[in-house]
Amino acid sequence: MSAQPDSGRPMPRKNRPGLRRVEMPRTRYYVLYEHDAATHTVYVHAVWSALRGRGPRLTKP
């Protein structure tokens, strides 16, 4: 993610328009994150198991 932070699939939400998701198929987990281009920072919001079904609840920033 640090080398190509915008490579994740966009998953915009009402309270997080820049949210992205990267899937890790071998582990069946995915990472929900946002990239702040101004500060060159990646914020990881959740690492979630696909087996849990519905995604995590993300609170407002």
Q: How do residues 2-61 score in pLDDT, each as one tens digit?
A: 789 999 999 888 888 899 999 988 998 999 999 999 999 999 999 998 788 777 777 666
pLDDT at res. 29:
92
Q: In what order do the strands lie in the sheet with 29-36?
A: 9-10, 20-24, 29-36, 41-49
Domain count, the chain: 1
pLDDT at res. 61:
61
pTM: 0.81
Query: Does the residue 2 lie in any domain?
Result: no
Query: Does the residue 45 lie in any domain?
Result: yes
Domain containing 44 equals 9-52
pLDDT at res. 16:
85
pLDDT at res. 2:
78
| Cβ count within 10 A of residue 28 | 12
pLDDT at res. 54:
73
